[in-house]
Structure 1
Amino acid sequence: MEIEYGGVEAPRSPLGIERANGRSLLLPEKGRARWKVSRRLLVQIFAAGIFVVLVVSLISCASRAQPVQRSIPSVCRDSPRKPHQIRNVVFMIPDGMGPYYVKLTKGAMKLLGHDDDSMTLDRIIHGSVRTGSLSPEVTDSAAAATAYATGARTFNQNVSVINGKLMPTVLEGAEGVGMWTGLVTTARITHATPAAFSAHVSDRNKENDIAEQQLEQGIELLMGGGRQHFLPKGESGSKREDDRDMEAYAREKGYNLIHTEEELHSAMIPALGLFSPSHMAFEMDRERLRTEQPSLAQMTRRALQLLAAAPDGFFLMVEGGRIDHAGHMNDPVAAVHEVLAYDEAVAEVLKFAAWDNSTLVISAADHETGGLFQGENEFPDYAALAGISSSMEALADEFHRAVRAVGKPDEEAAARKVLRMAGVPDANLTSEEVSSLIEVADEVGIEYLEGGLPLKLGEAISRVLHVNWTTSHHTDVDVSLGVFGGESLRIKNNIDNSELGDAVIEALRVDPWKGHSFTHGSSSEDDCNLA
């Protein structure tokens, strides 16, 4: 069915500049009015042909308050651009997806029912991005996403802060000039990547604080998992340490709450979609386990339909968050399906961008996970990979239940039965390997995202499928850069992750620092202390 954009009756968000306790993080109303007046004046000046004034105004932006790491944006160095050439930006992040993830996926596509091995991503790859942070070790998602969100690097674990000071984000800059904003992810909405665009904490694990900050930002649309951080302490499944009911608070602020795929279709701005207690299901488990969760593509499509009504444009971040988790589990099967799900979301965005003709689309992973590669030995067994029907996360749960339901003499038989039912060619697994899986059969659940039974299953099945990993953690491999629309030709080749963040800020022509009043309404950097 053809998708309609702009036909959604989405009134201007009542969230605009509302803040709890009168505390505004963005431009005050007067600041917005001044911005609109200034914009009209610039247009009049340009129409009158006073080109020199425009050049001076561009040069003067170099004097704005900036973090130490931030160089003068190239918008202040390059020739002037046409006003409003970029109206919207969609920043897409396939968390953890290195180049070989795409290669592995292409090898399995025909066996999974695709006509060929072509992907939407193929059309937009322009270069690569150097990943990294200020920490001596490989970057984590918090620091990497901060580079994208702020145009400056920070230390691992930090979410848009550095040395105790706040780092304003492109999302905040967009909100500050009246644009609509949105965050879509298959991870928890409070997880590191979406958090870096919408919150400021020194430790990415402070997800309860992140949830509170996100609701104060005036973000028009949030979709993902992580409901556990919005429920009061006494409610089942809650991870909060207080009795605050953040869902009820969101309703008070005007948010429309959605929890299922069916509810997504009728969602309206402002929307808070919390589809899972923690991370959303892997794509290959989503329908099989009847989760009632939407796909990444479905969330992205609805987000675009709603944000298309924004009078002054929008900024949207879309994260394929579970690609990274498949890498942490060394799960090649889930990795392939997550990459395909991400590619479907990319297709939705490109369809919108082609229709809109004023949208810049960026696709770049924050880092690579797992060190996935192809060595000199056998190629992957793509047929066997395509025949497996479960992620290692879901398979671990089924394995655990089956093994613990029988006595010790029958454990191996029960384990092999579960593996065969999931399509795993268990004949290639030795008794020793199955026994090692049984030994960690109780190590299941989200706390074992980077270890326990899911990882052990991933390692064993990867060996059977001839898929190679070097680690279950992040690596410093450069990641692919995809760009489409707007000024895409200016963003290409090999660039630093902070440079890409700067480019996005420039494309929207917003200044995240302008209008901030973290303490007493001052926009100076000294007033941005966390304390």
Structure 2
Amino acid sequence: MKLGQLLFNILIAVTLGCALPSNPADSTSAKNVILLIGDGMGPQQIALAVAYSKHISKSELNLYRLMRDGEVGAVMAEAGTNLVIDSACSATQMASGRSCRPEMLGLDVDGNKVQTIVERAKLAGKSTGLVSDTRLTHATPAAFASHVIHRQFENEIAQQLIESGTDVMLSGGLRHFIPSNILDSAAATSAGIALSPASFPKVKSARRDEEDLLAAAMVKGYETVFDIAGLKASKANKLLGLFALSGMPDAIEMRSIQGNPARSMPTLAEMTTKALEVLARNPKGFFLMVEGGQIDWAGHENDAGRMLHEMLRFDEAVGAALTWAKNRSDTLIVATADHETGSFGFSYSAKDIPEAEQLSQGFFKSVRYEPRYNFGRRENLRKLFDQKRSFTSIVGEFESLNSPDQSPERLAAMVGEATPFILSVDQAREVLAKEPNRFYIHGHSELGNREAPIIRDFTAFYPYIENNRINLIARALADQQDVVWGTGTHTSVPVLVIAHGPSKLTDRFDGFLDMTELGRLLFESMGFDAAG
């Protein structure tokens, strides 16, 4: 669909308060479907990556190729009961075509189990795979193969993932698969779990029971791998790869070690390539979901530099899928997002207004061009890319220092070492200041701290107290970056859906869809009856 028509459809659909009907699906189905989910990837995040590739790296973004050669639609990102959605609900609606409540996994609005596309594909004899750069038990991958009332029950999710029989599962999250008595590396070694110290500097189970899900996986025929060497060497048709205790490293850290021949951590693109290699052995075809999950994490933290790197990491996985599917007429690639995170954007401002300049050619070459505002400097794209550490990494190291060393001067220096943008000592002092938590709830996983860093606007929309110092650093640098943020959570901004493959498969994604419609189209694209 042309961009102008897409924007017109969005305007009409929002005005009418309903989704436009999609093109009716024909009887053609895909042997293979590859679903690529950029968690938190709104149109703004895509624009950030496209701008960087266009103006700085001078290379074509794989997502741009996907949009140029495929069909582009839009999806209303809302829950079955609410205006705003979370990853659990969104992925459930995408995986099942059924409406869901926020934070539920694999259930409809009434709490009934729904059949997911992974489960339906397995019934049809197809192979299935889940890949993520977060952890396997996190909301998006979990939604495709588990059913729990709340996404926080990750130990139960881990057990259900093994029971699901999903053929390839590659991500982080080892802590939810090992028994509670494994509390250090020595215990892991004694249990026969060979882990790389580089990937697993610490080992500690998050389970409260003695369930050994790695042993259970092996009984079910899985080969288990924990580093890139094991991943590359595996010849198994059922593969469980767990490469980090919790979430995998952020994209900035991964880029810094990517060229290291001793690297033990696989990239998202390498996991995608391996999953495709394994799943393609099934003559009946496959369904594969690949998540770039840390785009969302960067958005929650308002870290624009990290978010650019996360987008580029996801784009490499898109490239891996495109390379595999090249010249195939039996494969559909669908790239989309579950929601937008952060209310991110570039914006014009009153800071650093450019000086007037004499135009050197054209009809008005004798006239001075004098902009009234700063409309965003392209060189900031390079500066964002040049960030050496995520703000999460900086704050984590800072908070591990002895209390006397946790000074505003030290924090400002650490930020200055990691990014071209400057955090002043006064700004660092504001980052470190605290006040009583206005939204304190005893026992709440995020709001249970009695004190919180001071966020002076939209405070209620920054509920992740552990992120607030990170948010404050990012917001302090925002006017230097020509960036604005509106929240530390999600927005209701419609997200894009991009379908690439034979036109008989992609045309049905042209339009303005509801998230459940997108889910039903995925079912139909594989020749299955639409869910719900």
Out of 76, 92, 99, the position equivalent to 1:153 is 99
Which residue type is aligned with residue 114 of structure 2?
M
5 Å matches for 1:31-430? 81-82=27-28, 85-109=29-53, 113-115=57-59, 119-123=64-68, 124=70, 126-162=72-108, 163-236=110-183, 237-267=204-234, 268-288=236-256, 292-377=264-349, 378=374, 379=376, 381-401=380-400, 404=402, 406-407=404-405, 411-426=407-422, 429-430=423-424
Give the match's secondary structure for 1:454.
Answer: helix
Percent identity (aligned): 33
Give the match's secondary structure for 1:453.
Answer: helix
Cα deviation, 1:134-153, whole Å, max 9, x if unaligned, reads 22241111111111100111
Q: Please state how far the C-alpha of 1:397 moved relative to its aligned partner.
A: 2.0
Give the match's secondary structure for 2:345.
Answer: coil
TM-score for the superposition, normalised by structure 1: 0.76
**CA 1:172 to 1:511, structure 2 compared with 1: closer, same or farther past 3 Å?**
farther
Which residue type is aligned with residue 234 of structure 1?
N
Rounded Cα–Cα distance in structure 1 between residues aligned with 2:112 and 2:338: 22
Q: Please state how far the C-alpha of 1:110 moved relative to its aligned partner.
A: 6.2
Rounded Cα–Cα distance in structure 2 between residues aligned with 1:226 and 1:461: 32
**CA 1:223 to 1:315, structure 2 compared with 1: closer, same or farther past 3 Å?**
same
**CA 1:316 to 1:331, structure 2 compared with 1: closer, same or farther past 3 Å?**
same
**In the alignment, is residue 488 of structure 1 matched against residue 519 of structure 2?**
no
Rounded Cα–Cα distance in structure 2 between residues aligned with 1:184 and 1:443: 35
Which residue type is aligned with residue 75 of structure 2?
V
**CA 1:406 to 1:108, structure 2 compared with 1: closer, same or farther past 3 Å?**
farther
Q: Conserved in 1, the CA contact under 8 Å of 2:308 and 2:385?
A: no
Rounded Cα–Cα distance in structure 2 between residues aligned with 1:285 and 1:106: 22
**CA 1:300 to 1:165, structure 2 compared with 1: closer, same or farther past 3 Å?**
same
Cα deviation, 1:65-92, whole Å, max 9, x if unaligned, reads xxxxxxxx999x765x25xx41010111
Q: Conserved in 2, the CA contact under 8 Å of 1:169 and 1:512?
A: no
Cross-structure match for 2:361:
none
Give the match's secondary structure for 2:144.
Answer: helix
**CA 1:399 to 1:300, structure 2 compared with 1: closer, same or farther past 3 Å?**
same
Which residue type is aligned with residue 482 of structure 1?
I
Q: Please, which moves more after superposition, 504-513 or 170-179?
A: 504-513
**In the alignment, is residue 437 of structure 1 matched against residue 431 of structure 2?**
yes
Q: Conserved in 2, the CA contact under 8 Å of 1:170 and 1:512?
A: no
Cross-structure match for 2:369:
none
Q: Which ranges in structure 2 are unaligned for 5 or more consecutive residues? A: 1-20, 184-203, 350-373, 435-450, 454-462
Rounded Cα–Cα distance in structure 1 between residues aligned with 2:524 and 2:223: 32
Q: Conserved in 2, the CA contact under 8 Å of 1:360 and 1:488?
A: yes
Q: Conserved in 2, the CA contact under 8 Å of 1:328 and 1:450?
A: no
Rounded Cα–Cα distance in structure 2 between residues aligned with 1:218 and 1:316: 14
Which residue type is aligned with residue 221 of structure 1?
V
Q: Conserved in 2, the CA contact under 8 Å of 1:86 and 1:508?
A: yes
Q: Conserved in 2, the CA contact under 8 Å of 1:87 and 1:313?
A: yes
Which residue type is aligned with residue 434 of structure 1?
A
Q: Conserved in 2, the CA contact under 8 Å of 1:125 and 1:480?
A: no
Cα deviation, 1:223-243, whole Å, max 9, x if unaligned, reads 111111111112122111111
Cross-structure match for 2:440:
none
Q: Please state how far the C-alpha of 1:279 moved relative to its aligned partner.
A: 1.2
Q: Please state how far the C-alpha of 1:247 moved relative to its aligned partner.
A: 1.1
CA RMSD of aligned residues (A): 2.7
Q: Please, which moves more after superposition, 168-177 or 372-381?
A: 372-381
**CA 1:202 to 1:175, structure 2 compared with 1: closer, same or farther past 3 Å?**
same
Q: Please state how far the C-alpha of 1:512 moved relative to its aligned partner.
A: 8.4
Cα deviation, 1:422-467, whole Å, max 9, x if unaligned, reads 13422xx333211123447x999xx968623322222223333121
Rounded Cα–Cα distance in structure 2 between residues aligned with 1:387 and 1:417: 17
Which residue type is aligned with residue 186 of structure 1?
D
Cross-structure match for 1:454:
470
Out of 518, 521, 525, the position equivalent to 1:500 is 518
Which residue type is aligned with residue 460 of structure 1?
A
Rounded Cα–Cα distance in structure 1 between residues aligned with 2:276 and 2:327: 11
Give the match's secondary structure for 1:324.
Answer: helix
Rounded Cα–Cα distance in structure 1 between residues aligned with 2:25 and 2:396: 55
Rounded Cα–Cα distance in structure 1 between residues aligned with 2:337 and 2:466: 19
Which residue type is aligned with residue 97 of structure 2?
G
Q: Please state how far the C-alpha of 1:103 moved relative to its aligned partner.
A: 1.7
Give the match's secondary structure for 1:480.
Answer: strand
Q: Conserved in 2, the CA contact under 8 Å of 1:462 and 1:468?
A: yes
Give the match's secondary structure for 1:502.
Answer: helix
